[in-house]
Structure 1
Amino acid sequence: MWEETVSVTPPYHFDKVLERLSLDPLNAVDLTARSIKVPLRTRDGKLSVITVQAKGTAIDPVFLVSGETDREEMIERIKHIFQWEQPLQPVLDHFSKTNLSALFEEHAGTPLVLEYDVYNCLMKCIIHQQLNLSFAFTLTERFVHAFGEQKDGVWCYPEPKTIAALEYQDLRELQFSMRKAEYAIDLSRMIADGALNLAELPQLSDEDIMKKLITIRGIGPWTVQNVLMFGLGRPNLFPLADIGLQNAVKRRFALEDKPSKDLMLQVSREWAPYLSYASLYLWRSIE
């Protein structure tokens, strides 16, 4: 068993992080202990559970990270997932001069936290497509419980090879639509067969990732934008077609109707190069 104390550049509001992560029933969040257990697979596929616990405050963020094996690899992955090496003060300074200044003051120190694995992010996006959030979480939970792996009471998404070996009917039995079952299994087969190498995505530009993924059946611009944000931590994405964002913009700017694409582009013009943070904070405003 190893433990390591990690200090992070303030502001960093871990309690707001945990609050958002607790919306997903698959996340092992303890709001009282201010901690989360993170299931990660090592390079050789072994499942490891890492505990991250806040020991400091938003203005003095300190964390105790603990696990059983692969200390160096796990620490680096945790730093990446929770974006501990991406200072938030420049983001706050930028938005203090924009039409979202009040929103960023309210949620100051909220980072862009990533899904634990890019494959997890892809599966979650496919499952969540065109579903209300409540049933999307339910369906994702069924998927992970049926085909994933549990360790120390924490559930981990299945590996691509596991889903690649399924028949479409296996997912239909969980209440997947036929089309969604095809998307999830066919994509998993591409990854398991090596036709799609997720490990190369971090080295590619946003534009090249969009070109690569958009050709795959079941993956549209919304899914790619979410993968860029929550799978890879890219800072400048604003999914115009996202219904939640449209509703948040409507409420934030007291609009009578849902905003058009042109209006969304107009109000968001001054948010670059941190559009992903604007997206996150707008989602937070209606969650």
Structure 2
Amino acid sequence: MVDVWEDDYYLRVLPAGGDELVLLRVENRGTIDEPDVQISVQHGDEASASGAGVVQIVRMILGLDIDPEPIRVLGEAESKLRLTAMALRGMRPPRFPTLFEAFANVVPFQQVSLEAGLAITGRLVERFGRCVEVDGRSFHAFPTPGAVAESRLPTLRACGLSARKAESLRGIARSIASGELNGETIASMSTLDALRRLLELPGIGPWSAGLVLLRGLGRLDVFPSGDVGAERGLRSLLHLGPRAAFGRAVERFGDLRGYVYFYSLGSSLLAKGLIHPAPPAPRGRGSPAPRPRRSRAGA
């Protein structure tokens, strides 16, 4: 609902200062090996978008500044990952643009199925997120922490959250809105200290804290512990039996543990046909970081 993928485009509504919202369209007119990423404003003021730094925010969301080389390195170092590494060539780890969006994409998914978590998050977006209308279509921005901080618990529960999750998410929203919980402060901490800080929050356990660090702060040395789906996928990729020590298997990847997490997710998406394997790499070619170009609306 917030991140819209259609045809060869990525569409996303972002705040552009004050009450202004802009709808951006992202397109790669190049290839994996020679990216040509173009970002255009489809709705809203282009000057406001530029001043709010939305291009850099989009780069962060899509991981465009992350070096994809570790994907290749891991594939060469671990033979069991080689085929997956080839299929995911050029992949860059995505992340959420704000700390609150990360939490709001983690808390609803605690101990429920992926489908249930997506449905709850979708209802939160519909209830608390602003939207823009373009050509008869509605595009939603992700809710701000302030909007959720001011909500009533019954309203949050009507979105599908349990009482505990509703209290947890609203409490986190209030802490972020007040400045008590600050993304920049946490980003300046070591991974261990940041993990400890997040674990102090009501309703946040090791899995939630690890996922917020990985997807919200881009800590690619973190593999969220207790992620049943990711563990199942990685066990399959590495041919680990049910009694094999999973933690030890993950730890040997060191600072690349987060990449291994995305390997597991990518492998699952490939198996379901939701993404397609990358074409073979030309000899001697890598995947350079794409440089986006701005174009006018409708370009």
Shared fold, TM over 0.5: yes
Alpha-carbon spacing, 1:78–1:279, altered in 2? closer, same or farther (3 Å): same
Return the alpha-carbon distance in structure 2 between the equivalents of residues 127 and 48 of structure 1: 27
1:255 Cα deviation after fit: 4.5
Give SS of 2:106's match.
helix
Structure 1 match to 2:171: 186
Amino acid paired to 1:200: T
Query: Whose RCO is larger (CA < 8 A, sep 6+)?
Result: 2
* 2:82 aligns with one of 101, 106, 127: 101
Match of 1:120 in 2: 101
CA gap of 1:254–1:118, structure 2 versus 1, over 3 A, is same
User: Please, what TM-score do these two structures have when normalized by structure 2?
Assistant: 0.80
The AA in structure 2 aligned to 1:111 is: R
Does residue 35 of structure 1 match 2:14? no
The Cα of 1:43 is off from its aligned counterpart by 4.9
The answer to whether 1:162 aligns with 2:147 is: yes
Q: Does 1:59 align with 2:33?
A: yes
Please list the CA deviations of residues 211-250 of structure 1 after superposition, one character each: whole Å capped at 9, or x if unmatched: 2211010111211211111112121111231001221133
Q: 2:49 aligns with which of 67, 70, 95?
A: 70
Gaps of 5+ in 1: 1-24
Partner of 1:226: 211
Cα distance in 2 between the residues matched to 1:118 and 1:45: 20
- Distance apart, 1:45 and its partner CA: 5.5
Deviations 1:75-109 (A, max 9, x none): 22222222222221244124311242222122111
Q: TM-score, normalised by structure 1?
A: 0.83
Q: 1:244 & 1:71 partners in 2: Cα distance?
A: 39
How far off its partner does 1:132 sit?
A: 0.2
Aligned-pair distance for 1:180? 0.8
Deviation string, structure 1 residues 88-143 (Cα, Å, up to 9, x no partner): 12441243112422221221111101123221111110111111001110110011
In the alignment, residue 135 of structure 1 is paired with which amino acid? A
Q: Offset at 1:193?
A: 2.2
Contact 1:39 1:116 in 2 (8 A): no
Q: Tell me, yes or no, if structure 1 residue 212 matches structure 2 residue 185.
A: no
Amino acid corresponding to residue 72 of structure 2 in structure 1 = L
**Greater displacement, 214-223 / 99-108:** 99-108
Give the equivalent residue in structure 2 for 1:241. 226
Equivalent AA in structure 2 for residue 118 of structure 1: L
C-alpha distance in 1, partners of 2:240/2:253? Answer: 19
Q: Which runs of 5+ in 2 are unaligned?
A: 270-299
Secondary structure of 1:273's aligned partner: helix
Q: Distance in 1 between matches of 2:37 and 2:193?
A: 35
Shift of 1:70: 2.8
**Match of 2:237?**
252
Q: Percent identity?
A: 22
Distance 1:283 1:147, change over 3 A: same
Match for residue 67 of structure 2 among 87, 100, 124: 87
Cα distance between partner residues in 2 of 1:206 and 1:160: 24
1-side partners of 2:202 and 2:98: how far apart?
21
**Cα distance 1:44–1:208, how it changes in 2: closer, same or farther (>3 A)?**
farther
Letter in structure 2 aligned against 1:127: P
1:70 aligned counterpart, secondary structure: helix
Secondary structure at the counterpart of residue 32 of structure 2 = coil
Query: Do the aligned residues in 2 keep the contact of 1:58 with 1:109 (CA within 8 Å)?
Result: yes
Q: Offset at 1:276? A: 0.7
Task: Compute the displacement of 1:197 (Å).
Answer: 1.8
CA gap 1:201/1:41 in 2 versus in 1, 3 angstroms = farther
What root-mean-square deviation, in Å, do the aligned CA atoms of Structure 1 and Structure 2 show? Answer: 1.9
CA distance in 1, matches of 2:96, 2:227: 18
Counterparts of 1:223 and 1:42, CA distance in 2 = 29
